[in-house]
Amino acid sequence: MFNVSREFAPPFSLIAPFFVLGSIFYLVAAFLLPMFDAHTTHFDIALVGWAHLFLLGFVMMIIFGAMAQLVPVVLEVGHFSVDFYYLIWPFLAIGTIVMVAGFWLAPAVLPYGGLMVLLSMLIFLADTILTLRKVERVSLTVKTVAVTNAFLLLGILVGFAMALGIGVGVGVDITKWLNAHIVLVLGGYVTLTIMGMSLILLPMFGLSHGFDEKPINRSFKIMVGGVLLYLLASLIDWDGLRFVALLTMLVAMGFYLYQIWLIYKTRARKENDIWFKSMAFGYGSLAISVIIGLGALLSGSEHLGLAAVWFLVMGFFTFLINGHLYKIIPFLVWFERYSPLVGKERVPMLAEMYPKKMADYEFWFSAAGVAIAGLGLLVGSDTLFKAGAAFIATGAVFLLTSVRWMLKFGK
Ligand code: HEM
């Protein structure tokens, strides 16, 4: 599966904390979701705090953990220093908690949390940039890694500037920069990273090959163009250009979805396991998000905009991440505990190394939750939103239990 030699493979003890902490943050964030209702706006500071709890504590934590494993696979060189990763998760976890406390309780501590998160990300970026310098063959994925990391850096610097504005009163126009921050981190980093990684992971797990890669190449360029246009629009404060930039990003997502369809059509593995189901729900959510996003853009409705972001973050990001946990964790555990035993005794298959029932419960509760709460947001029903949130919280309990089960396998 992952083509990593022992020399490149990061130690298990280094990656496990990312996945455990990520699932704990997911659980806590899921239990706090009912604080909101279908009428919450994105300016609400309680939502800003929650967004960072979820996006930094869960999404970024797991992406960074996965990157420790995937950077050598996709770049085909070893990490500059994998030991950097021992510093990333403590700074990210503590920084996130302090930042959330800053948003919710004491604005004065916000810059301290922001600084810790900034530090953890700068360490991640330093390792990635120094690793990139060793690369000889510049493929699309290598370019993706370089560009997305530049967007992440810009995005967190803008975030940090806003945190200084809130915490110590430095003159930063938050209304001007807030959306640029969101576009840089969600579009420029998370979405583009998922696009780059999925081009490697989906064909590998679905055994697809021989498909045309033009749509993803186009999608990548259009998306980068869209993010850059948005940045320009923020700099010159021009709403017309913001509109064009957002439209450009939606077009990029259209090409990306077409690419996924091509990969799906050429897959040789037809098994509908938990990974496949999670991908199907994730990409379905992305398609819904693009359609609602287009509606939001044309109507200018905040309400529709939030629903589009809901399906993007809770449907697309979350299901792509969680679905891959059922592949990545068993592989890491297998590599650590069983690869030395190959040829000496019977070793388990990867498919035996995740809890099928629990994973299924996680999938169905979470999927029902995202759909019900998403519908609640669309029709403005607080009851539906809160019911959906309760389903998501139940799914999160199953996720954490599944992650612990997989990490303990064979111990
Ligand atoms: C050093 C790291 C970061 C800092 C200091 C930071 C700080 C901030 C600040 C100050 C705001 C505006 C609050 C307001 O409206 O008054 C904000 C909004 C936001 N940030 Fe960050 N941020 C950071 C990283 C990130 C990352 C990595 C992500 C996503 C992966 C992210 C996602 C968001 C989102 C989605 C919002 C808008 C939330 C809403 O309007 O409800 N941030 N951030």
How remote is the CA of residue 52 from the centroid of ligand 1, in Å? 6
Q: What is the average pLDDT value for the chain, to the nearest integer?
A: 93
- Last residue of one domain, picked from the residues 108, 137, 166: 137
Average pLDDT over residues 298-310: 95
Q: Are residues 264 and 370 in the same domain?
A: no
Q: Give domain status of residue 339, yes or no.
A: no
pLDDT at 392 over 80: yes
Looking at residue 127, its pLDDT comes to 94
> Is 80 exceeded by the pLDDT of residue 141?
no
Verify that 151 and 264 share a domain, yes or no.
yes
The predicted pLDDT at position 72 comes to 83
Residue 337: inside a domain, yes or no? Answer: no
- Looking at residue 276, its pLDDT comes to 96
**pLDDT over 90, % of the chain:** 80
Q: Tens digit of pLDDT for each residue in 181-219?
A: 999 999 999 999 999 889 889 999 999 989 999 999 999
Q: Are residues 280 and 411 in the same domain?
A: yes
In this prediction, residue 176 has a pLDDT band, given cuts at 50, 70 and 90, of confident
Residue 50 lies in a domain: yes
Helix (H, G, I), strand (E, B) or coil at 208: strand
| pLDDT class of 7 with cuts at 50, 70, 90 | low
Cβ 198 vs Cβ 320: under 8 Å: yes
Q: Is residue 341 in some structural domain?
A: no
Q: Look at residue 137 in the predicted model and tell me its pLDDT.
A: 80
Domain shared by 304 and 396, yes or no: yes
Chain centroid, CA 192 distance in Å = 10
| 45 located within any domain | yes
Residues 199 and 221 in one domain: yes
Say whether both 15 and 131 belong to one domain: yes
How much is the pLDDT for 4? 46
- 267: three-class secondary structure by DSSP: strand
The distance from CA 97 to its chain's CA centroid, rounded to whole angstroms, is 18
Looking at residues 8-35, what average pLDDT do you find?
93
Residues 14 and 54 in one domain: yes
Statement to judge: residues 248 and 373 lie in one domain = no
Residue 234: CA atoms inside 13 Å, Cβ hemisphere, count?
20
The pLDDT value given to residue 172: 86
CB 255 within 8 A of CB 222: yes
Q: Please write the tens of the pLDDT for every residue from 253-277.
A: 999 999 999 999 999 988 889 999 9
Q: How confident is the model at residue 81 (pLDDT cuts 50, 70, 90)?
A: confident
pLDDT class for 60, splitting at 50, 70, 90?
very high
Give 8's pLDDT tier (boundaries 50, 70, 90). Answer: low
pLDDT of residue 46: 97
Q: How many residues does the chain have?
A: 411
CA separation for the pair 398, 269 (Å, rounded): 26
Domain carrying residue 28: 1-137
In a domain, 340, yes or no: no
114 CA distance to ligand 1 middle (Å)? 10
Other Cβ atoms less than 10 A from the Cβ of 20: the count is: 17
pLDDT per position as a tens digit, 28-48: 999 999 999 999 998 899 999
Sorting pLDDT into bands at 50, 70 and 90, what band is 70? confident
- pLDDT mean over 366-379: 98
Are the C-beta atoms of 90 and 132 separated by less than 8 Å? no
Single out the residue in 222, 251, 270 at which a domain terminates. 270
Of 137, 171, 190, the one marking the end of a domain is: 137
Residues 156 and 144 placed together within one structural domain of the fold: yes
Residue owning the nearest CA to atom 37 of ligand 1: 48
3-class DSSP state for residue 394?
A: helix
Task: Inform me whether the pLDDT recorded for 78 exceeds 90.
Answer: no
- Give me the residue label for tokens 């993007």: 312
Q: How many domains does the chain have?
A: 3
Any domain includes 362: yes
Whether 117 and 147 share a structural domain: no
Q: Which of 153, 178, 314 to mutate to test the pocket of ligand 1 (most atoms within 8 A of CB)?
A: 178
* Beta-bridge partners for 208: 267
Side chain identity, residue 222:
I
Tokens at residue 383, please?
Answer: 């009851």
Share of the chain above pLDDT 70, in %: 98
What is the CB < 6 Å shell around ligand 1?
42, 47-48, 51-52, 55-56, 59-60, 114, 117-118, 156, 159-160, 162-163, 166, 174, 178, 181-182, 185-186, 190
**Do 126 and 181 lie in a common domain?**
no
Q: Identify whether residues 281 and 213 lie together within a single domain.
A: no
Region 318-336: what's the mean pLDDT?
Answer: 94
How far apart, in whole angstroms, are the C-alpha atoms of residue 310 and residue 184? 17
Token pair in block for residue 296:
């939001």
